[in-house]
């Protein structure tokens, strides 16, 4: 899938020492023109050798591969000329491509435990000389939103900064560390104990949260740092500042992303395979020679939920599935959905509907359960497979349901679709408020 080009809409590497860093901020020389930023690329570093949580970058978080959350935000940002994942692992490459990213296969020299982010980014820039501004996005920041990236990039493209990084404001008192066995007393570092400020009377302090780092090519390649030249920060709200490092972070991050994560721009149509998704794929044979299948009532209720939220649902039946074709009328009555037959390659038939409705694939949700669905699963803005789907389909999908086909998987995906739609509406409302207050 092609990576969106930049569109116009109406609607911990420092320089040497703190003193050098301070000198470079207000009066530092520009290393790129704000009038013409050139090729702006997003780059997510995703090494396969994670020690804390094996293959953490593609582990499922709230039904979505961890890296998928930031890739969705980067692509929907629509301010990048290209979106890349730098990796040394085949499975990470597959997931990255399924989310619409291009892949840079990093060398072994920058894939070691001791390799730094800076070295990896420099290698990427050496291989891609057209890139003039790069945004290093942390794969483990699942609550990143497109608006964060858009506003931060403006500081380079419009305000003339050379580097911009994300921070979060914290209200925490710091004390000097005392080594074990020392007879020294600890000392406060950012407060007066005799006059402890109340939270509301103190602005707090800014801490890097690692979500992203924008920097120009010249700064990275010539100065050897991600923060330098004319420097600015972008402050993220605390609820969006989420990082995952060890196992204990996972359940907390999952709850946070369900509430504050970016779920996309909302979909208006959902396609769902009947066999293997709405049903469990089993056929019941009777003495009377009347074959039967079972459908979970929670799944049919899910389709009613979509209709109430103005999301049109279309059920897909294979042309070879004679039993299902004989049940089309009953399926329509049970679900209230349109039913259409598709060939061995569902993409051809679904594509014609998408074009006829003048939709973009980003506006479409797709649920499938086998290898033939992989193309549609990759293209759709939201896509899912039941928990018992084969690997070929699961790797192409953006969401994996908790339940198996015919056992509530459709309802699970419907709730995910509606949650995404609700989040998209809330984000649009917030954007309007921000513009009105500007």
pLDDT in tens, 363-374: 899 999 999 999
Count the Cβ atoms, other than its own, within 10 Å of residue 47. Answer: 21
Is the Cα dihedral 264, 267, 271, 274 positive or negative? positive
Residue tagged active-site, from 105, 196, 304, 332: 196
Each residue's pLDDT expressed in tens, for the chain with a length of 438 residues: 333 333 333 333 333 333 333 333 433 333 444 457 899 999 999 988 776 678 899 998 888 899 999 999 999 999 999 999 999 999 999 999 988 899 999 999 998 888 899 999 999 999 999 999 999 999 999 999 999 999 999 999 999 999 999 999 999 999 999 998 888 999 999 999 999 998 888 999 999 999 999 999 999 999 999 999 999 999 999 999 988 888 888 888 988 888 888 887 778 899 999 999 999 877 777 666 666 788 889 999 999 999 988 899 999 998 877 677 778 888 888 888 999 999 999 999 999 999 999 888 888 999 999 999 999 999 998 999 999 999 999 989 989 999 999 999 999 999 999 987 777 666 655 554 454 554
Residues forming beta bridges with residue 61, ordered by sequence position = 64
Question: Among this protein's residues, is 196 annotated catalytic?
Answer: yes
Q: What is the pLDDT of residue 69?
A: 93
- Rounded to whole angstroms, the Cα distance separating 93 from 55 reads 12
167 close to 207: Cβ distance less than 8 angstroms: yes
Instruction: Name the residue among 367, 381, 372 with its Cα closest to residue 321.
Output: 372
Domains and CATH numbers, the chain: 17-260 (3.90.550.10), 269-424 (3.40.50.1000)
Angle of CA points 306, 311, 315, to nearest 5°: 80
- Rounded to whole angstroms, the Cα distance separating 224 from 323 reads 65
What string of H, E and C letters represents the secondary structure of 12-29?
CCCCCHHHHHHHHHHHCC
Instruction: Kindly report the average pLDDT of the chain as a whole number.
Output: 85
Give the up-direction half-sphere exposure of residue 97: CA atoms within 13 A in the CB hemisphere: 14
């Amino acid at each position: 899938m092609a990576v969106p080009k930049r569109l116009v809409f109406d609607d911990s590497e420092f320089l040497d020492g703190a003193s050098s860093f301070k000198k470079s901020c207000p009066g530092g020389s520009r290393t790129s023109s704000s009038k013409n930023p050139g090729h702006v690329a997003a780059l997510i570093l995703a090494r396969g050798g994670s020690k804390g949580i094996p293959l953490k970058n593609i582990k499922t978080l709230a039904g979505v591969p961890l890296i998928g959350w930031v890739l969705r935000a980067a692509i929907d940002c629509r301010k990048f000329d290209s979106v890349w994942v730098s990796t040394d692992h085949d499975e990470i490459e597959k997931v990255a491509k399924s989310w619409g990213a291009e892949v840079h296969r990093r060398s072994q020299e920058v894939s070691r435990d001791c390799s730094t982010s800076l070295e990896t980014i420099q290698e990427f820039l050496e291989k891609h000389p057209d890139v003039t501004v790069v945004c290093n996005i942390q794969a483990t920041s699942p609550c990143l939103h497109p608006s964060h990236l858009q506003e931060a990039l403006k500081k380079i493209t419009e305000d003339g900064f050379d580097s911009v990084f994300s921070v979060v404001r914290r209200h925490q008192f710091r004390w000097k560390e005392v080594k074990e066995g020392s007879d020294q007393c600890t000392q406060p570092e950012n407060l007066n104990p005799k006059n402890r400020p109340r939270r509301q009377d103190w602005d707090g302090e800014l801490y890097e949260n690692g979500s992203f780092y924008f920097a120009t090519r010249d700064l990275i390649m010539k100065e050897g740092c991600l923060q330098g030249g004319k420097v600015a920060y972008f402050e993220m709200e605390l609820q969006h500042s989420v990082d995952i490092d060890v196992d204990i972070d996972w359940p907390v991050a999952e709850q946070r992303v369900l509430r504050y994560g970016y779920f996309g721009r909302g979909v208006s149509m959902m396609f769902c395979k009947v066999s293997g998704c709405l049903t469990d794929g089993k056929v019941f044979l009777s003495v009377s020679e009347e074959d039967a299948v079972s459908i979970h009532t929670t799944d049919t209720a899910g389709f009613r939920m979509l209709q109430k939220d103005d999301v049109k649902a279309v059920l897909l039946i294979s042309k070879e599935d004679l039993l299902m074709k004989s049940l089309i009328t009953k399926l329509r009555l049970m679900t209230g959905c349109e039913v259409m037959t598709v060939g061995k390659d569902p993409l051809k038939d679904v594509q014609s509907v998408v074009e006829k409705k003048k939709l973009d694939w980003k506006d479409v949700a797709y649920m499938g359960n086998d290898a033939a669905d992989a193309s549609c699963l990759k293209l759709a803005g939201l896509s899912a497979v039941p928990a018992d789907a084969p690997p070929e389909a699961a790797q192409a999908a953006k969401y994996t349901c908790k339940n198996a086909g015919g056992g509530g998987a459709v309802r699970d995906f419907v709730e995910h679709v509606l949650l995404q739609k609700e989040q998209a509406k809330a984000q649009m409302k917030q954007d309007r408020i921000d513009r009105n207050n500007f």
